[in-house]
Structure 1
């Protein structure tokens, strides 16, 4: 008996069907059967299904003699299911890689609950991906099982059948079936969740919900949307037949009203001539099932007539338009006031003791600017440092940090008079550089991939990126900090502006250069990493040739297992991927289970590096900083050709690496199994890399910036060796 029975109803999806079936049959968990129901599809779907059944004994095909619709096609497949758990997969959707293994592991962990709810992502026809907006509900449910009464938020998720796994004997015992109709998922999902004694969640994207450009029946204009009333009647009938569920009537009454009003409000769901009738049928249903609970304010419109509803809609629309005009007027007035502030303060002398800092587009007290601020506090306490920080990040600041919000009057006040501006990204284009002000640009590390004007020859990488505007902003730089001569050459080429290179080193790396044996212990303690474990930090970069930027080069769970019990794998995604679907594809769940440590949200990457014993990366600039620790680095370069074709690189990291290079997962696993990741060759390669790219990082970069660029004092010069042969030819790309 298989672990999973995946029931796939099929109708007019011949262009998507193979991808759907392959996503199931190609899973690492093979303990699955597929019951494909050909719902009398008029295209080539039936033949496709038969070919799959001939090749794979796990596929069983049912050919229906008439088209019965999605719900009854699922019903036709259920009697043939023999698996422990049922999954319902629409034939234009796909399972994500590793989904069944993750579901199986979670079922084992929770002792086979009645229902397991997992996450999904919407994948759009134009290539975009958006994770379920309520994914937090899955994470907040906890590690164990619960009932709907104990965690009612579970009912706020999309009422669909395909984001859940159902224990087959639970379904059979309760006699759940699908009714015909447009909204057949509603009278299935509410009853199953309300009846389940044990529900569990999996905070992982296991399914890609395809958003077709055309063909989604729920997005079409049709009278078939009247079906929603019949489906809610079925839900109320189910609850009425089970007295123990009577407590849910007020909740279902509200959900029904919200659902129907939502359909009515959408301009493309109902023909205009049918909207009045739909309203009256909704109001009748609403009255019939009303409870003693007060009616929510937003649903009281159903207690009046259609004319009152239409009047409210017009008032709401007018109010929205008026509010937008008022907002624009307020915005214009506020902008005028701010411009007035800027003009008034811009006519006053610069404040020689005022510095303004920002990092990573106002994300907090981070990176090189934070290191410079700390050094200024010690060496130049008379210089007042003010940070520009987004409102949602203000709570992350140390308590002694003064800050202003971007665009506020206070922001315009300080930026109009500050002498020093320190940032690792460009300031907004609206900020005017006044004569006498000093702009210090720290960058975000040593460049491997093309930057700035060099992207002009890489149209895919510069998509949505305005190079001329970026260069106009860079024209404000006075000083460009560099940690090595390679960076100096690159920035001169990539940013053809009038700044001066400052061979200061990278201030954020001072902590790495000056690190002691105990540094990084806090991170290990916080994440429960044993002291005797070898910590492997995996830090992949984003891909410009892939929409969304994330490609999972290998399975981190497998890598963690292959490393062995005395190792801990720490994963840190590129910051641009932190809030996208990448973590939902399995990383968050692996972190919860203790398989890996997800360090993507750690604000200070330096602490993560200090806690690790070895870095595995592909083409992330993190390797240049990490080399200061003189710890092993492994470069996983399985797609170097595609990466350089899309983005461009200033030199071949596979020819001049900081350690061993793997070009497949098999090679990567072997490097660690054999111990070669830290052998003499690795040390030799690392030494050459450090000499080339860490040459100005001596642990005094932050104080050097303060003394030389802010206070104008002389500093003990760096002991810089003569350029190595061939350094002037390091830039291999062409603009």
Structure 2
């Protein structure tokens, strides 16, 4: 008996069917059967199914003699299912890699519940991907099983059949089947979820929900949308048969009203001549099914009035939204003019030579090199007043105590940036006034560069997607000093940003703590045993993929290969933190303790200090980590693709900071053999550090404060050819 019976009804999906079937049959969990139902499809779906069945014994094909529709096609597959769990997969959707293994693990962990609900992502015809907007419902469900009554938020999720697996014996015992018509998921999902004695949640994206350019069948204009009324009648008939579920009537009554109004509001659902009839039928059903004493609130209350009243409310709402948009636009224009005027007024006041304005990572908080410079300034020159620009009040709440701040875009921000003697940032400034004579802009960058930047992107059209290179260079024209950690970085930045700044050979302030080998609180906070080897995996973005995320390593498998005595820590690129990348398995693995997710850790040096070895691909974090003189492994399985699409300033595989692997098997072998920390690794690392960490001596932040902010010589500074020795611009080369 297989673990899963995957039922796939097929009708006019020949363009997507192979991708769907491949996504199932290529799963690492092979304990499955596929029951493919050819719903008398007029295209080549039937032939494609027969082709797959001929080469894979796990595929069984049913050819229906006539077209019966999605719901009844699923019913046709049910008697042939022998698996422990039923999975109803639409034939234009796909499973994500490792989905069934993750579902199987969660089922075992939760003791085979009646229903397991998992997450999905919408994948668009133009290549975009967007995670389910209510993913937090699954995250907050917790590891234990529950009922719908115990955790009603589970019903806030999209009421569809394909984001769940169902225990087959539970479905058979309750006699659940699909009705004919549109919205057939409704009278399946509500009865199933309300009847389930044990429900489990899996906070992992297991399915890609395809969003076709022309939409799905429910997006077509048709009177078939009237079927929704019969489907809700079936739901309430189920309640009539199960009086123990009567308490759900008010909820389902409101849900029905909101669902029907949503259909009515969509411009592409109902023929215009049928909208009044749809409203009246909905309103009549709404009145008839209203539970005694129930209060109708919110949008559903529109159904207690007439069609004319609904239309007036709809028109008023549209007019109100239009007026609100116009008013908001007017306010933005007025506010912009006020800020500009305020900034111009402030620009007439003298610069404050003791005011230093800081920002990091597009105003994301107290981070990176600017934060290290600020800390050094507090110690060396407390008379300097440091003010941080942050993007919103939430970010401001995360600042250290007593750190002064302004919100980006406010009048107060315009004032301090206009009068600041110094501006320190690690990305090009946006939204600041024109540079004033005497003002000093110090640009720290965000690490030593490997991939192409600035003007060099002009030759890489894919990599510069969304990047306005001329605008980027105009912002770089404001820089007075560009901090560099090596002569290599100096040459790269002067080529990538052909502007009139001086390179400051200071080192990277944020790396001072790494050079000094300062303490880390990371292990203690996360309960990592003292005797564990901490392996940090920190991959970067891929410009050749929309969204930037590519799973180059199976982290669950890597954690298993590392074995006892190891803790695998994963830190994704910040740009992937809020996207679907973590939902493709990382969040669930972290919950189970298989790996530790450090993506949200605000203090990167604290994470680096805790790691005994770094695995990365092409992330600039390798240059920072090299300061610790600890082993680095480069996993470069797509190096040539990356190099051609993004561009790189040197061949990392020829000049690596440690061993290079090109497959997961090779990576696992490197660790099981112990070669990851052998003499060759140390030799490669030493050569790498000597070139790319040339100016890193643990005093970079002090050097910036003394030479660039205070205009004084740096005690004990080591001079290089072309460097000034005193005055603003000491330790710089033009």
Q: TM-score, normalised by structure 2?
A: 0.97
- Cα deviations by residue, 1:299-336 (Å, 9 ceiling, x for unpaired): 22211110000000111111111111111222222222
Distance change >3 Å, CA 488–CA 382, structure 1 → 2: same
Alignment correspondent of 2:343: 342
Out of 435, 439, 442, which is 1:440 matched to?
A: 442
Match of 2:225 in 1: 225
Question: Offset of 1:722 from its aligned partner?
Answer: 8.4
Q: Determine the structure 1 residue equivalent to 2:321.
A: 320
> Aligned residue for 2:395?
393
SS across alignment from 1:641: helix
Q: Map 1:398-477 to 2 at 5 A.
A: 398-428=400-430, 430-477=432-479
What do you get for the CA RMSD once the two structures are aligned?
1.1
Cα offset, 1:528, TM superposition: 2.0
**1:341-380 alignment to 2 at 5 Å?**
341-380=342-381
Q: Separation in 2 of the partners of 1:580 and 1:586?
A: 13
> For 1:357 and 1:293, how far apart are their aligned partners in 2?
56
Partner of 2:36: 36
What is residue 726 of structure 2 aligned with on the other side?
none
Q: Which residue of 1 aligns with 2:725?
A: none
Shift of 1:185: 0.3
Instruction: Render the CA deviation track for 1:524-552: whole Å, top value 9, x for unaligned.
Output: 12222111100000001110001111110
Is it true that 1:530 corresponds to 2:529 in the alignment? Answer: yes
Partners of 2:543 and 2:578 in 1: how far apart?
17
Aligned length: 720
Aligned to 1:673: 672
Q: CA deviation at 1:400?
A: 1.1
SS in 2 for 1:173: helix
Once residues 74 and 94 of structure 2 are traced to their aligned partners in structure 1, the CA distance between those partners, rounded to angstroms, is 17
Q: Give the drift of 1:240.
A: 1.7
Q: Shift in Å at residue 293 of structure 1?
A: 2.2
Q: Are 1:16 and 1:91, in contact at CA under 8 Å, matched by a contact in 2? A: yes
Summarize the Cα distance change of 1:39–1:641 in structure 2 as closer, same or farther, 3 Å threshold: same
Separation of aligned partners in 2, 1:245 and 1:364: 49
5 Å-filtered alignment, 1:582-731, equals 582-716=581-715, 718-719=717-718
Q: Is the 8 A contact 2:417 2:432 kept in 1?
A: no
Q: Take 1:380 and 1:218, find their aligned partners in 2: how far apart are those partners? A: 66
Q: 2:207 matched to 1:201?
A: no
Question: For residues 396 and 152 of structure 1, do their structure 2 counterparts lie closer, same or farther at Cα, with a shift above 3 Å needed?
Answer: same
2:499 paired with 1:497: yes
Aligned pair 1:251/2:251, yes or no? yes
The answer on whether the counterparts of 1:696 and 1:720 sit within 8 Å (CA) in structure 2 is no
The CA deviation string for residues 403-460 of structure 1, in whole angstroms up to 9 with x for no partner, is 1111011111111111110000011155311111110000000000100000000000
Conserved? CA contact 1:695–1:720, under 8 Å: no
Q: Take 1:531 and 1:171, find their aligned partners in 2: how far apart are those partners?
A: 49
For residues 204 and 260 of structure 1, the distance between their equivalents in structure 2, rounded to whole angstroms, comes to 30
For residues 444 and 538 of structure 2, what CA distance do their matches in structure 1 show?
22
2:155 matches 1:155: yes
Could you tell me the TM-score, scaled by structure 1's length? 0.97
Question: Which moves more between the two structures, 142-151 or 329-338?
Answer: 329-338
What is the Cα deviation at residue 150 of structure 1? 1.0
Q: Does the aligned pair in 2 maintain the 1:429–1:473 contact within 8 Å?
A: no
The question of whether the paired residues in 1 share the 8 Å contact of 2:418 and 2:432 is answered with no
* Structure-1 separation of matches of 2:53 and 2:209: 24
**Matching residue of 2:306:** 305
C-alpha contact 1:253 1:289 (8 A) present in aligned 2: yes
Distance 1:156 1:239, change over 3 A: same
SS of the residue corresponding to residue 208 of structure 1 reads strand
Equivalent residue of 2:556, what SS? helix
Q: Which residue of 1 aligns with 2:11?
A: 11
CA positional deviation for 1:719: 3.4
Aligned residue for 2:209, secondary structure, equals: strand
1:62-141 correspondence runs (5 A): 62-141=62-141
Query: What is the CA–CA distance in structure 1 between the aligned matches of 2:38 and 2:597, rounded to whole Å?
Result: 42
**Quick check: 1:211 aligned with 2:217?**
no
* Contact 1:39–1:73 (8 Å) recurs in 2: yes
- Residues 159-180 of structure 1, C-alpha deviations (whole Å, 9 max, x = no match): 1000001000000011000000
**In structure 1, what is the equivalent of residue 57 of structure 2?**
57
User: Does 1:487 pair with 2:489?
Assistant: yes
Q: State the Cα deviation string for residues 628-678 of structure 1 (Å, max 9, x = none).
A: 000000000111100000001000010011011111111111110100000
The more displaced of 66-75 and 687-696 is 687-696
Partner of 1:388, secondary structure, is: strand
Q: Deviations over 1:206-262 (max 9, x none)?
A: 000011112511111111111111111111111121111001001001111111111
Distance 1:52 1:348 in 2: 76
Q: State the match for 1:730 in structure 2.
A: none
Q: Secondary structure at the residue paired with 1:615?
A: strand
User: Displacement of 1:353 after TM fit?
Assistant: 1.4
Q: Which segments of 5 or more consecutive residues in structure 1 lack a partner in the other structure?
A: 724-735
Distance 2:592 2:451 in 1: 35
Shift of 1:720: 6.2
Q: Counterpart of 1:733? A: none
CA distance in 2, matches of 1:717, 1:692: 22
1:359–1:366 Cα contact (<8 Å) kept: yes
Report if the CA contact (8 A) 2:414-2:432 is conserved.
no
What SS does the corresponding residue of 1:35 show, helix, strand or coil? strand
What is the DSSP-based 3-state SS (H/G/I as helix, E as strand, rest coil) of the residue aligned with 1:28?
Answer: coil
Which string of whole-angstrom CA distances, capped at 9 and with x for unpartnered residues, describes residues 170-213 of structure 1? 00011000000110000101111110110000000000001111
- Partner-residue secondary structure (3-state), 1:487: helix
Alpha-carbon distance between aligned partners in 2 of 1:616 and 1:625, rounded to the nearest angstrom: 13
